[in-house]
Amino acid sequence: MDEQNKNKSLSIEIKPDIAKGVYSNLAIITHSQAEFVIDFASMLPGFAKPEILSRIVMNPENAKKLFLALQDNIGKYEAQFGTISFGNDKPKATFPMGGFGGPKNGNIS
């Protein structure tokens, strides 16, 4: 990290209702040429279908930055706590969905 970036700090504010967070055990990721859309949902027993709790829309550059940040943080987590395993679950399932109901590829994570 160069000296200029080392001295930069980001001052953020988080409102109390946002700070408590929302539990999600399902993410549905779609994209178009211009944007990535990540829907965070919760699948719970007794409910017919998952409920979308939050939607994040990002440009491709920021989506890749998020990917790299998650990759870095997962590496740090696993170095401290051990490998995250999927058990008998598959790590990724796909279904036809795609960019805003258009193309054919959507991922459930």
Question: Which pair of structure tokens corresponds to residue 4?
Answer: 């200029």
The two beta strands, 106-108 and 51-58, are unpaired
pLDDT in tens, 57-98: 999 999 999 999 999 999 999 999 999 998 776 665 554 444
What distances in angstroms separate CA 4 from CA 1, 8, 9, 37, 98, one per listed residue? 8, 7, 10, 32, 40
13 pLDDT more than 60: yes
102 pLDDT more than 50: no
Cβ neighbours for 91, distance < 8 A, ≥ 6 positions apart: 109
Task: Pick the closest to residue 44 from 28, 24, 29, 27 (CA basis).
Answer: 24
User: Domain residues of the chain, as ranges?
Assistant: 23-108
Kindly report the pTM of this predicted structure.
0.69
Q: Is 50 exposed, middle or buried (0-12, 13-18, 19+ CB in 10 A)?
A: middle
Instruction: State the Cα angle at 100 between 65 and 26, rounded to 5°.
Output: 60
Mean pLDDT of the chain: 83
CA distance 108 to 39: 10
